[in-house]
């Protein structure tokens, strides 16, 4: 299980346990599952998709930023987020 935080300058957009996360990196889409190798990557503008441990998938549109993965902890540090309907 992953521990995930999606954070923007104005606050936490999502935080909790997840089965997987997909982020839009500048090198392409990056899928993250438990026991993923440590990685740091620059985010492109796009959609961060989180598959929570329970409940429906969560999508957060980001304008860029970076992601850090280490020891089943995923930190998405977004430059900004776009509210649904503003995209």
Structure confidence by residue, pLDDT tens digits, 4-47: 999 999 999 999 999 999 999 999 999 999 999 999 999 999 99
Confidence of residue 85 (pLDDT cuts 50, 70, 90): low
Q: Are 62 and 78 in contact (CB under 8 A)?
A: yes
Q: Which regions of the chain does DSSP assign to beta strands (E)?
A: 2-8, 11-25, 28-32, 39-43, 46-52, 58-62, 65-70, 73-78, 81-82
Length of the chain, in residues: 87
Strand 28-32 and strand 39-43: the pairing is: unpaired
Residue range 2-82, CATH number: 2.60.15.10
Global pTM value = 0.93
């Amino acid at each position: 299980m992953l521990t995930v935080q999606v954070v923007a300058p104005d606050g936490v957009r999502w935080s909790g346990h997840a089965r997987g996360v997909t982020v839009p990196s500048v090198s392409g889409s990056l899928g993250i599952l438990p026991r993923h190798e440590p990685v740091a990557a620059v985010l492109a503008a796009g959609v961060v998709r989180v598959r929570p441990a329970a409940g429906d998938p969560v999508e957060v549109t980001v304008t860029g930023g970076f992601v850090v993965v280490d020891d089943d902890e995923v930190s998405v540090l977004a430059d900004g987020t776009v509210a649904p309907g503003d995209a």
